[in-house]
Amino acid sequence: MSTLRVTAEEISVHPHPNADALELAQVGLYRAVVAKGVYRTGDFALYVPEQSVLPAGLIEELGLTGRLAGGDANRVKAVRLRGELSQGLVCRPRALADVDLVLAAKEGTDFSESLGITKWSPPVPTTMDGEVEAAAELLPWVDIENLQRYPGIFEPGEPVVLTEKLHGTACLLTYVAEDGRVLVSSKGFGSKGLALREDERNLYWRAARGHGVPEAAARLAERVGATRVGIFAEVYGKGVQDLAYGTDVRTAETPPGYAVFDVSAEIDGQVRWLDPAQVFVDGELPLVPRLFEGAYDLDMVLEWASGRETVSGRGMHLREGVVIRPAAERYSPVVGGRAIAKAVSPAYLTRKGGTEYE
């Protein structure tokens, strides 16, 4: 899930092909359905991204009572309105009537706190929960921003790698070479500097032990001379999320599905990001499928984001999307960090009965 930021943005307005009273307001590559005539191309308005939770007063002001997602009908979710995908909300709340939105856009002001907008946190199933402890040495994982919000992360023709984005739950494992300690966490707990105490019933520990991840991390630490190694993987299967890839985590006979999507290592006091396909070879650990290597093209990436999954080898259901990264690790001034992004399938965003546990 991307970082929540509610910002002022310059919008462009496009006709809605299937509704005379509606238009499409575009922010980046996102398009949100709006009432016709409210905005013009070049206007500045607030963009509220998907997975935002709105306070009751703002919902009422925007005329969205009973129209948002979730049990409390307060969560912004991608929907199709008269056949067009609408991602996020474009609006001008009364609370910002005296705010210079042009200046706010230039300065990148985040209005989420002042408007009482929060990021949706999915419930945590008991298999993903457990006793936690402080883990200062846990190597962190950061959220990947959406390419549609920040289309300028990559340059046309830049060598990139596309890997399949899996619908599971992120498992963070850190191996500490000094004393051989293994820290295991989820994305949610890891963001708070917490690790899960080992428990054979816990999903993340079952996956780590079942696939020999601590041992692989120890071998990697020795090969590259690292004091710490972080292995970041998706744990998946029936019982984790609604997309199962032909794997069932509820049986004890086999470990949960597990696929590494990133690796970091602390070498000479600096944390470096490593390519999993280069450091884990010959099936040492299962990796997320690598779909494409070559020159970056936006339309090509968006096409790869849709289609059928390849993890099972049988195309059992739709693909969540893809993760894009440069062939050579680099910094991006667009997001102020690693040059890495995701592109998500519209079919995935609008599927029925989807789950989003972390």
Q: What is the DSSP letter of 356?
A: -
Residue 126's pLDDT is what?
60
What is the arithmetic mean of pLDDT over 145-156? 93
Distance CA 324, CA 201 (A): 34
Residue 358's pLDDT is what?
63
pLDDT of 242-278, one tens digit each? 999 999 888 777 899 999 999 999 999 999 999 999 9
125 falls in which pLDDT band (50, 70, 90)? low
Res. 210: pLDDT tops 60: yes
194 neighbors 333 (Cβ within 8 angstroms):
no
Distance CA 273, CA 269 (A): 13
Res. 1: pLDDT tops 60: no
Residue 124's pLDDT is what?
65
What is the arithmetic mean of pLDDT over 285-304? 97
Predicted TM-score (pTM) of the model is 0.84
Residues near 97 by beta carbon (within 8 Å), at least 6 away in sequence? none
Of 79-93, 112-126, 168-182, which range is least confident?
112-126
Of 125-129, 144-148, 285-289, 326-330, which range is least confident?
125-129
Residues near 222 by beta carbon (within 8 Å), at least 6 away in sequence? 177
Residues near 333 by beta carbon (within 8 Å), at least 6 away in sequence? none
What number of residues does the chain have? 358
CA-wise closest residue to 164 among 338, 308, 349: 308
Distance CA 74, CA 60 (A): 10
Distance CA 174, CA 194 (A): 12
What is the arithmetic mean of pLDDT over 189-193? 91
Label the pairing between strands 89-91 and 44-48: antiparallel
Q: What is the DSSP letter of 207?
A: H
Res. 122: pLDDT tops 60: yes
Residue 165's pLDDT is what?
97
Mean pLDDT for all residues in the chain? 93
Which residues are bridge partners to 173 per DSSP? 184, 231
What is the arithmetic mean of pLDDT over 74-98? 94
pLDDT of 5-40, one tens digit each? 999 999 999 999 999 999 999 999 999 999 999 999
188 falls in which pLDDT band (50, 70, 90)? confident
Phi, psi (deg, nearest 5) at residue 22? -125, 155
- With pLDDT > 90 as the criterion, what percentage of the chain qualifies? 85
Distance CA 33, CA 89 (A): 8
Residue 277's pLDDT is what?
95
Distance CA 68, CA 89 (A): 11
Strand, coil or helix: 271: strand
Res. 209: pLDDT tops 70: yes
CA-wise closest residue to 340 among 47, 142, 110: 142
Which residues are bridge partners to 52 per DSSP? 119
What is the arithmetic mean of pLDDT over 59-72? 93
Which two tokens mark 254? 């086999």
